[in-house]
Amino acid sequence: MRIGIADTTFARYDMAKDAIDEIKKHALGVKIVRYTVPGVKDLPVACKKLITEQECDIVMAFGMPGKEAIDKTCAHEASTGIIQAQLMTDTHIIEVFVHEDEAKNDVELAEVMERRARAHARNAVTLMLRPEELTRDAGTGRRQGRDDAGPIKL
């Protein structure tokens, strides 16, 4: 099995490193292929190439969109392309974006980034190896990078 890891030089924290560490803990013997591009708008084709040229079974796409309106637009364009790349290949690409304005300061931002990267690395491994397991958590308010919201209590 092969997991593709696409990330950017634009991001201010190396989420891919945390994700790779987490993958190694949960999926022994899985081959990891890493591909770094300048920014989030370069991610869709990078992810597609990891699937079509590097034969990855699943891909993770890491990005840190900035705080400005233009950054939000870039993130939206990247996300649209990432969904399109999945539809063209019938392969999951787990998007792991942390917006720079999600946290109050740099330390909290790095914390969110590490937690989200690790949580989604576990999701990617599960989706690749034991997809039926996620149904146990269906509708239970899971979050990545923050505490779970939890299910609605009736």
Interface positions, 74-113, toward a copy of itself (CB under 8 A): 74, 76-88, 90-95, 99, 106-107, 109-110
d(CA 90, CA 110): 32
Q: How near is the Cβ of 40 to a copy of itself at its closest, in Å? A: 10
Interface positions, 29-68, toward a copy of itself (CB under 8 A): 34-38, 41-42, 44-46, 48-49, 52-53, 64
Token pair listed for 125: 């491994």
- Out of 9, 28, 29, 147, name the contact with a copy of itself by CB under 8 A: 9
End-to-end CA distance of the chain: give it in Å, rounded.
42
12 counts as binding a copy of itself under rule CB under 8 A? yes
Q: How near is the Cβ of 29 to a copy of itself at its closest, in Å? A: 22
Q: What does 95-142 look like in DSSP terms, one character per residue?
A: EEE--GGGSSSHHHHHHHHHHHHHHHHHHHHHHHH-GGGGGGGTTS--
137 counts as binding a copy of itself under rule CB under 8 A? yes
